[in-house]
Amino acid sequence: GDIVLLAKPVTLTEGDRVTLTTDVPVATDGTSKPEKLLYAVSLPPVHGQIEHINYPGVPISSYSQLDVVAQKVSNVHDNSHGAGKKSLR
């Protein structure tokens, strides 16, 4: 089926952590299996990383829509100075 992806920017300041919710990335592919719909992080944040909340400090390169629905994925700013606000798109 068709894949539909909707995404809103997430703005972080130094040291912030934002949990991704279905308000940020949400996708559907016409099935009812969110665990099979995967996101790949092709361009990681410059000043931080994407993490699974069960493994803080460990960057991940993919996660499922089910992880987003369960609020298990965070964008974490690395607290680097002079970085200012950054957006995840």
| Secondary structure of residue 88 in the 3-state scheme | strand
Give the pLDDT of residue 23.
75
Q: How far apart are CA 89 and CA 87, in angstroms?
A: 6
Q: Which two tokens stand for residue 75?
A: 């964008």
pTM above threshold 0.85 = no
Q: How far apart are CA 2 and CA 83, in angstroms?
A: 38
Give the pLDDT of residue 5.
64
Question: From the first residue on, what is the mean pLDDT of each consecutive set of 10 residues in the chain (89 residues)?
Answer: 65 81 71 77 87 94 90 89 50
